Amino acid sequence: MIVTLLLLQARGRVTAAELASELEVSVATARRDLESLAASGVPVYPQPGRGGGWSLVGGARTDLSGLTGPESQALFTLVGPGAGASPEAQQAVRKLLRALPSPFRADAAAAAEAVRLDAGAWGEQRRSRPPVVDVVQQAVIDRRRVRLDYTSRTGHVGPTLFDPLGLVAKDDLWYLLAIREGSPDVRTYRMDRVAFVEVTEEPVERPADFDLAREWQRVVAYVEERRSRVRATVLARKRHLWVLRDHFGTYLDVSGDAPSLGEDERIEVTVAAHTARSIAEQLAGWGSMLEVTGPEDVRRELARIGTELVAAYA
């Protein structure tokens, strides 16, 4: 919501569609953020009709003069995930940092770099934020080593010392980028697999060339290469496109000239997953609203799911 407020202040007025495009989220998510701002007391209101959008009443501004040190850290942790959304938002973040009392600026800047938000979905079931995230987040800001009791897919690892470098929230799943004791490499750890965390007094020697956004892009490229081995071609009505995009994220590509089509016209899209069965499971709930034209193994998996459902519930 903070980045939404920054964009409102930078531009004066935005539509939900414009906000969704800037932040790479669905229009429904952008609209919820705007409504949440209004509900939280921020003087923002919608203006319907041509040339309308959401605006701040009277050009309202954010006043940082009364913030405490912990409050400024909390604020800039929220700012950080979307700080690169647009040049206007980046400039607004810099202005907000300059507006802070000088003793708070270094910690606030560290907080802004501690967390990133990746809105693209990986098609996983959404989860609640693990309580350990807040503890590890503060350790990243304070540059303190942590001892984690961690269970990986291949077995139990911990308690072990880690140098925490940054956190990424992707589709409500939280990931820690850290260097494990005894290893020179930056690796990624899912926070919902952390059973216990202890913050030590040992300082973290952060690599001079570490960049959280760049490192996360490397992780995403590696994971998506492994997960998107099977692709399926799907015909869907244009009005359903935002739902598919919200679910599949970067695993969805749009073919043809989508802007020129009407909302009820069908558009061809490509979706990807690591197996044909996985694609079929994610599309089966749409029923006849979608048509999978290929490949044949995905169509067979859909037929198998349909047969199983008929056998169980007919």
For residue range 197-218, what is the model confidence (pLDDT) as tens digits?
999 999 988 888 888 878 888 8
**Mean pLDDT on 93-118:** 63
- Tell me: pLDDT of 101 over 80: no
What pLDDT, on the 0 to 100 scale, is given for residue 298? 93
| Window from 29-43, 236-250, 259-273, 283-297 with minimum mean pLDDT | 29-43
What pLDDT, on the 0 to 100 scale, is given for residue 53? 80
What pLDDT, on the 0 to 100 scale, is given for residue 233? 93
What pLDDT, on the 0 to 100 scale, is given for residue 104? 60
What pLDDT, on the 0 to 100 scale, is given for residue 163? 93
- Tell me: pLDDT of 116 over 80: no
More confident residue, 250 or 126: 250
**CA 96 and chain centroid, separation:** 23
DSSP state of 25: S
- Tell me: pLDDT of 273 over 60: yes
Q: Which residues contact 211 (CB under 8 A, 6 or more apart)?
A: none
Neighbours of 98 (CB within 10 A): 10
More confident residue, 202 or 127: 202
pLDDT band at 264 (very low <50, low <70, confident <90, very high): confident
Neighbours of 167 (CB within 10 A): 25
pLDDT band at 109 (very low <50, low <70, confident <90, very high): low
**Mean pLDDT on 30-46:** 73
| Window from 6-10, 167-171, 178-182, 231-235 with minimum mean pLDDT | 6-10
- Tell me: pLDDT of 138 over 50: yes
- Tell me: pLDDT of 222 over 90: no
Neighbours of 75 (CB within 10 A): 20
pLDDT band at 84 (very low <50, low <70, confident <90, very high): very low
What pLDDT, on the 0 to 100 scale, is given for residue 88? 57
**Mean pLDDT on 139-159:** 82
What is the average pLDDT score of the chain?
A: 77
**Mean pLDDT on 281-306:** 92
| Window from 39-48, 81-90, 276-285, 304-313 with minimum mean pLDDT | 81-90
- CA dist 154 and 151 (Å) reads 8
pTM of the predicted protein model: 0.52
What pLDDT, on the 0 to 100 scale, is given for residue 73? 56
- CA dist 314 and 300 (Å) reads 20
**CA 26 and chain centroid, separation:** 12
**Mean pLDDT on 8-37:** 77
Q: For the chain, where are the alpha helices, taking DSSP H only?
A: 2-11, 16-23, 27-39, 69-79, 87-99, 102-114, 132-142, 212-227, 241-248, 276-283, 296-313
